[in-house]
Amino acid sequence: MRLNDALLGAILLGFAGWVWWMTTFFPAFPGQDYGPNLFPRILAGAIGVCGLLLILRGLRSRAPLVMLDGWTREPARLVSFLLIPGAALFYILVSDFLGFIPTAFLILLVLALWFRARLLVALPVAAGVTLTVHWFFSGLMRVPLPRGLMDPLL
């Protein structure tokens, strides 16, 4: 699948506008001309310029906005492609209720089995990676991960 540069540029331009708008809610520092919104706005401006350049380049090419390759007509490959953003969406929707450990374990197990790992390999790998990531972020980095159903145990 190939997206026209104009479409990608429009997405980038929209993202830059959203970042700029979000910085309007940042607090100002008294007595200073700049505050915590300066760096995000510089980045948003640069992303916006890149988005505009991509839009111009895409309009000049006169290519279709989306060109589908042959793999997009194969259901198994399309599911494989959509499983990754689907896993991220599943994590966002379910992790507060289930908690990080069960959610990450389920995601890793399903992905490993879909991509043809044997169950005897997928189970310990999913468990080991989940516990390692939890230990790294929660233990070492002190990132508060959702506890969900595991709250009484942790």
Residue type, 141: M
What is the pLDDT, as a whole number, of residue 34? 80
- Joined together, the tokens standing for residue 47 give 């992303």
The number of beta carbons lying within 10 Å of the beta carbon of residue 29 is 12
If we measure between CA atoms, which residue out of 113, 106, 141 comes closest to residue 127? 106
In whole angstroms, give the CA distance from residue 83 to residue 148: 23
What is the pLDDT, as a whole number, of residue 67? 82
What is the pLDDT, as a whole number, of residue 18? 96
Q: What is the pLDDT along the chain (154 residues), one digit of tens a residue?
A: 688 999 999 999 999 999 999 998 888 878 887 888 889 999 999 999 999 999 999 999 988 888 888 887 888 998 999 999 999 999 999 999 999 999 999 999 999 999 999 999 999 999 999 999 999 999 988 889 999 988 888 7
